[in-house]
Amino acid sequence: SLPLIFLSVITAIGGMRSFQEFRTLGQRVIRYTLITTLIAATVALGLFVLIDP
């Protein structure tokens, strides 16, 4: 699965026409990563407080 993802990313980057497209994609990836990390940390903290191990 990893080679498929890697090749898909390389193909997408190679198909971009300008640096602006690359920059927009990079911003979206960073934003998505930060938001999902924040959600995961919030859920984990909530479960930790709720369960109180």
The pTM for the full model equals 0.67
CB 16 within 8 A of CB 25: yes
Query: What confidence tier does 53 reach under pLDDT thresholds 50, 70, 90?
Result: confident
Q: Which residue has the tokens 């898909």?
A: 8
Query: What confidence tier does 49 reach under pLDDT thresholds 50, 70, 90?
Result: very high
Q: What is the pLDDT of residues 5-23, one digit of tens each?
A: 899 988 988 888 888 988 9
